[in-house]
Copies of this chain bind each other. A is one copy, B any other.
Amino acid sequence: MSVDLVLSTILSPIVLFFVLGLGAALLRSQMTVPEAFAKGLAIYLMMAIGLKGGVEMSKTALTSDILLIALAALLLSFLGPFLAYMLLRTTSKMSRIDAAATAGHYGSISIVTFVAATQALELAGVITSGYMVAMAALMEVPAIMSALWLANRGLQKSGEVAGSEKGELFREVFLNASVVVLVGALAIGWITGERGMEKISPFFVIPFQGVLCLFLLDMGLNAGRGLRQGWRQLDLGALSFGVVMPLISAAITTLICWGMGLSVGDAALLITLAASASYIAVPAAMRLALPKAQPSIYLTLSLGVTFPFNLTLGIPLYIMLAQWIGG
């Protein structure tokens, strides 16, 4: 069964299109999915996820169980960076500031990895809860604060960068596209409920998986190019961190899920979230807050190493972990 799960994940069209893009980029193909088109698809995907989650949430009441999961999610995002930072500082030669920035990425989440896990679970016939989308949204931001604290602690406060403005980081972090669209769509789904969705769901449900294929082709191209251009910046310690860190996060989160008695589907999703790393929201925030950290390091790791690992081997593994504690 577990081999089945791995195979059915890896041989699913979305993963195959990712591999196609990855391969093309590694072979130095010039092909690209236009940036504007890919960004448009990303907005579509987040709207669809948010709406679906919101409609599901409108059907059930807010229980203390859900609040508990939310608390766990917040803590995972807050504390993840500390673990990641320690690991990086002991196993790689990364500077303090690079390690802090990278750690922030691993505390935060990848929404595409989350979606891929949802698809794999659906394929395996496992039920998941709508409010897990809210958990994903909750986990995006806290890690950024931990990373900033890690980078700046002990330093005497240096002067502001010229032209910086109060609130710019706050806006970048809390009002970036993925937070706005995800939280907004969640709220709209929740407000309008099933009845309101009727008319628009054909657009947001039926083509979803197909759009995901197109998007993952682009992600593959990105990941491949990131790897080609950036791997030289990384030593072996850093590279292996890209695989080890997700596994450690997954292990810890498995324990937490077991403690909270989460359902198999929800546990699998929370584990996936914890094990995934950001490559959209956090990099943008880091350029503002920690401009001295090198983007090629954290982008190569999170998009070039961790994302491909999670998409192919990670997700089936996380599902198995969830089945194991849930069984």
Contact = CB atoms under 8 A, between A and B. Distances in A.
Interface of A: 11-13, 16-17, 20, 24, 27-41, 43-44, 47, 51, 171-172, 175-177, 180-181, 184-185, 187-188, 191-192, 196-197, 199-204, 206-211, 213-214, 217
Contacts of A36: 34-37, 40
A62 to B, nearest CB: 21
A41 B34 CA distance: 10
Assembly of this chain: how many copies? 3
A43 B33 contact: yes
Contacts of A210: 200-204
B35 A34 contact: yes
A184 B20 contact: yes
A134 B13 CA distance: 19
A208 B210 CA distance: 12
A182 to B, nearest CB: 11
Given A12-B192, A192-B16, A176 B30 contact: yes
Listed from nearest, the 10 A-B pairs whose CB atoms lie closest are A203-B210, A37-B40, A29-B175, A34-B36, A31-B177, A36-B36, A203-B207, A20-B184, A200-B210, A16-B188
